[in-house]
Structure 1
Amino acid sequence: MFQLLWILMIGLVLGLIARLLLRGPQSIPWWLTMLLGAAGAWLGNAVSGWLGVRHTTGIDWTRHLLQLGFAIALVALAAPAWSRSHPRR
């Protein structure tokens, strides 16, 4: 249970950083931001393991940058799709 909370907290942080780094408004709800950030973290971990840089001595900068990059890409793809399917009134 605690691991799920940790994943969601990291997802929220990554999603918020992704939204801050993207230009323009992203009119997606906070829960979608959190889920996209968690998905970006999962994809970044998978790719870093595939590249062989998941576990290194010290801080895993490559893994963290991959996680953030995937979170940015997912938020950038989801924000326009969410805006089209949920227009503001």
Structure 2
Amino acid sequence: METESKGPVAAEIEKRLLEALSPTSLNVINDSASHHGHAGDDGSGESHFTVEIECAAFEGQSRLNRQRMVNKALGDLMQDKIHAMAIKARAPGE
């Protein structure tokens, strides 16, 4: 899990995923700089993310169900703070 300084939205994403899914690996990447001035850029510098997550709970789950699990864990952040998120979800050993 990355230890670099994160903004408040990235930190909240990480916190919620750690609490809800207990991942064995988690990387929250802020992609917002590459979307500056595009639709959904709210000027906060935290609107577009990539989440790379490995979690035992994903074993036997389809790609769609894994994304649903991540979205459920993030709850209101998906409507209020996050414009776009790429999710790379895998089970251990994949």
Same fold (TM over 0.5): no
TM-score range, shorter chain: 0.3 to 0.5
Q: Comparing both structures, which one devotes a greater share of its residues to helix?
A: 1
TM-score by length of 2: 0.36
TM-score by length of 1: 0.37
